[in-house]
Amino acid sequence: MADRIFIEDLKVRVRIGVNPAERRKLQTVLICIEIPRSLRKASRTDRIEDTVSYWEVSKMVDRIARARPRRLIEHLAGEIGRELIGIFRVKRVKVLVKKFIVKQARFVGVQVTSAS
């Protein structure tokens, strides 16, 4: 399927890290979401009900990410994917989380694909 809904680099402040000192301070992560989905109907009807609202997805991702501290970005990405599948009834979601913890790298990250 070539159609997709995506959100690129949603900025979220989270408490995340393997060691407790890292989790004590808020860190910025960037989250990217990709939802393969037919957009044929929405492209004809101009109705939000015929698609997935990227605004609602963005709000949900922010809420999930800020809900509690976590150790791993892998866990955060998986949790976001599962929630999006459950709430928006989509078949597949790709979640990329970028973290800025290694000074020698622009960012480090994980990409998790969740499917129903």
Could you give the domains of the chain? Answer: 4-115 (3.30.1130.10)
**Per-residue confidence at 2, pLDDT binned at 50, 70, 90?**
confident
Enter the DSSP assignment of 66. H
Tens of pLDDT, residue by residue over 69-95, are 999 999 999 999 999 999 999 999 999
Question: Residue 58: is its pLDDT beyond 80?
Answer: yes
- Backbone CA torsion sign across 55, 96, 5, 114: negative
- Check: pTM over 0.85? Answer yes or no: yes
Q: How far apart are the C-alpha atoms of 22 and 51, rounded to whole Å?
A: 38
Helix or strand run (H / E) with residue 106:
none
